[in-house]
Structure 1
Amino acid sequence: MYNVDHFREQYSRLKSECQKMVPVIGSGEFLTTPIITDDGQPIEESANGNISNYGGDANHATSDKKVIQWKLFLHQIGLDVVRTDRSLVFYESQAHQAKLWDILSVYAWVDNDIGYVQGMNDICSPMVILIDDEADAFWCFERAMRRLRENFRCSASSIGVQSQLSTLSQVIKTIDPKLHQHLEDLDGGEYLFAFRMLMVLFRREFSFVDSLYLWELMWAMEYNPNIFSSYEVPSGGATPSNVNDKELKQYGKFERNIVKTGYTEKHGALSIFLVASVLETKQKQLLKEATGLDDVVKILGDITGNLDAKKACNEALRIHKKYLKTVKQ
């Protein structure tokens, strides 16, 4: 049972913890310049001369690696905040920008493993806009990140969505070998042109309203009653195949396809098949007009505002069903 008061109090404690280290948090303002150096030494002033007022114990050197890394995130978050959904009147208010910055800053402190990565601002923004209470918006974002945080895990040797891009490549190779070969010939076999679509779930490809509608459709179609209660990421496999018809009706359409085919191997999230549906929609144009990766990016960029989310999801389900049947043979 979700206890609203408990979670609001918990957020208040987390925010207070961050506030003690950097008092600008919760002030209605936010940082866009660094407050410490990479080795934890304080930077006394920013270009506007205000860091000494905001830095809190940033005015003292620290050797705590977690604290250093977190404080280094803060101005990066601020720079992304001012670029977030700039076309929306909502963010003409500094108070609203500061609310987004506060939530992302507290989350970066809580997530010891990943912290903050550019793109998280795109995921968090809808929660800030739609939910008045900051604590409630934070926990909605935190739950969304439980599904999506692996998208943001990056290292020197891999990117967060690399496994999804690999699955996308396998899907297109299976259902449309001709298109896959063409993309390979263009040196696009790793499907990096789909990186942003997968990382932030089409937030930048669609308008604010359309992207939220798409999220709602996708997450409803991925609904699995066995994992919902624990808020875990859909596993992309291991869905029980011994589900009776009555139980099956509780599943979203995407999960239902998996159960019906009895496929138990990892198959990827619906977002992968949604990208595949976009590629299939543009297949003829890609084959005819794309002579390089820049052309691929441009053709796919034309989907903005021109894609029906419901039709795209239905096409993704059709591709998913076809893929499952093919790989199971």
Structure 2
Amino acid sequence: MWGAPAEPADSYYEVRPECTDVPTTKFKIRPGKTLSVRKWQAAFSPDGQLDISKTLGRIHRGGIHPTIRGEVWEFLLCCFDPRSTYEEREQLRLERREQYEKLKAVCHEIFPVVGSGQFITAPVISEDAGAETPNSTEIVKDLLSKGPLDKRIVDWLLLLHQIGLDVKRTDRSLVFYEKQENLLKLWDILAVYAWIDTDVGYCQGMSDLCSPMIILLEHEADAFWCFERLMRRLRGNFRCTASSVGVESQLSHLAMVTQVIDPKLHQHLETLGGGDYLFAVRMLMVLFRREFSFCDSLYLWEMMWALEYDPDLFYLYEEPSMEESSKLKSRSMRNYGKFERENMKMKTEETPLPISVFLVASVLKDKSTQLLHEARGLDDVVKVSSEYECIQLLLHTESNFYNRVRIRPRF
């Protein structure tokens, strides 16, 4: 209701009482600006088709009410076509749940700990041709007794203990993860994803991206597909080798943007040994999840997704062969996010940079004076970039927020 006071969102993501050093969220539910349950429901036609254009602007101005976050995210991440009906979405949801259970069954057949109500945190197989380790279970010993294992299976088994270690560390301040069943959901989803993504598998940081899906979506399969859609956008961030990181191209562009908008700051960062901008790797890789509080990072994500929203991605994800014909399905530019519309107007063949690059550049520019006077090392740069004012900049500016991130210098 207009005129009603803003409501803090902390209560929706309860923190364990002993975790006293957890930052409180700066995001507040603002009546008239935050996408409410009423406004969300009003955006659907009687048969369930969503007028996505009605919601995108409100999301990037005021975020989403926590009670409907999960179902709105499924649209923002293109799990569903806004033009689909309630019946069509329910059918697709059931098909996806069945597909997830089949994938999980395959993993369970190879390594029965998956889906068993347990998870592992110690290596069970060695990199040396899949030999046993002191921690090897009878399951692994039985597998090895049947002859040499397929490389795909060995590579997957090598990841499972690291997933377990990360699951135990992810969002441990939240009461939600005091329940063992929620930890198990997170481990099972990441284990199944590592099996199907043979290129990337699993890397540290993915658990930070997956955790909110578990919290927001009650059904494990729904959380899996939401995470899978997010990884289609971000999996390139995790392609790392001994000589390069997955976000290397983004770091390069971040350096070029900063050099153009603030040459003195860029020179100062080079003097500190940060000219490669590696201090921003974590920000870009997991989208500020570790820089901000849990709730603030979710708010930032949905703002970015609303700005970048492309309704055609549903068809590209669901049926890649329909990529060209899908361009006919988006009848109105209003159905695209504001940032994506700007990209389309530019009519360039180059892949547009993600909005996260411009967000980091925006923070650096805004904190330029402080960085020039106070930063004496890269740790100082990271600290200043994560301060309260930066969160305010990203989370509580509306038109200014968009103007800052739309910087597009021509090199």
Query: Shorter-chain TM-score: which interval?
Result: 0.7 to 0.9
User: Identity, % of aligned pairs?
Assistant: 55
The correspondence for 2:109, drawn from 16, 20, 35, is: 20
The correspondence for 2:335, drawn from 250, 258, 264, is: 250
The structural deviation recorded for 1:305 is 8.6
Match of 1:236 in 2: none
Match of 2:126 in 1: 37
Aligned CA distance change for structure 1 residues 304 and 214 (closer, same or farther; 3 Å): same
SS at match of 2:169: coil
Q: Which moved more, 1:271-280 or 1:66-75?
A: 271-280
Residue 33 of structure 1 aligns with an amino acid whose one-letter code is A
The structural deviation recorded for 1:308 is 4.8
The structural deviation recorded for 1:210 is 1.2
The correspondence for 1:283, drawn from 368, 373, 393, is: 368
Match of 2:269 in 1: 183
- Pairing 1:310–2:395 present: yes
The structural deviation recorded for 1:197 is 0.5
- 1:213-292 equivalences in 2 (<5 Å): 213-231=299-317, 247-260=332-345, 265-292=350-377
> Which ranges of structure 2 fall in alignment gaps of 5 or more residues?
1-87, 319-330
Contact 1:22–1:56, Cα closer than 8 Å, also in 2: no
Aligned CA distance change for structure 1 residues 30 and 312 (closer, same or farther; 3 Å): farther
- Pairing 1:74–2:160 present: yes
Residue 210 of structure 2 aligns with an amino acid whose one-letter code is C
Contact 2:362–2:405, Cα closer than 8 Å, also in 1: no
Contact 1:36–1:58, Cα closer than 8 Å, also in 2: no
Match of 2:257 in 1: 171
TM-score scaled to structure 1, two decimals?
0.86
SS at match of 2:163: helix
The structural deviation recorded for 1:304 is 8.9
1:24-56 Cα shifts (integer Å, max 9, x gaps): 11111100011111121233x53xxxx535547
The structural deviation recorded for 1:250 is 2.5
SS at match of 1:327: coil
1:205-263 Cα shifts (integer Å, max 9, x gaps): 1122111111111000001234443249xxxxxxxxxxxxx933322121233345555
In structure 2, distance between residues paired with 1:228 and 1:99? 25
In structure 2, distance between residues paired with 1:264 and 1:312? 31
- Pairing 1:206–2:292 present: yes
Aligned CA distance change for structure 1 residues 267 and 14 (closer, same or farther; 3 Å): closer
RMSD: 2.4
In structure 2, distance between residues paired with 1:62 and 1:98? 29
The correspondence for 2:149, drawn from 50, 57, 63, is: 63
Match of 1:99 in 2: 185
Q: Which moved more, 1:308-317 or 1:131-140?
A: 308-317
> Which ranges of structure 1 fall in alignment gaps of 5 or more residues?
233-245
TM-score scaled to structure 2, two decimals?
0.70
In structure 2, distance between residues paired with 1:138 and 1:200? 17
Q: How many residues matched?
A: 309
Contact 1:35–1:71, Cα closer than 8 Å, also in 2: yes
- 1:79-90 equivalences in 2 (<5 Å): 79-90=165-176
Aligned CA distance change for structure 1 residues 269 and 314 (closer, same or farther; 3 Å): farther
1:144-201 Cα shifts (integer Å, max 9, x gaps): 1001100101112211111111111111111111211111121211111110010001
Contact 1:41–1:62, Cα closer than 8 Å, also in 2: no
Aligned CA distance change for structure 1 residues 327 and 302 (closer, same or farther; 3 Å): same
Residue 291 of structure 1 aligns with an amino acid whose one-letter code is R
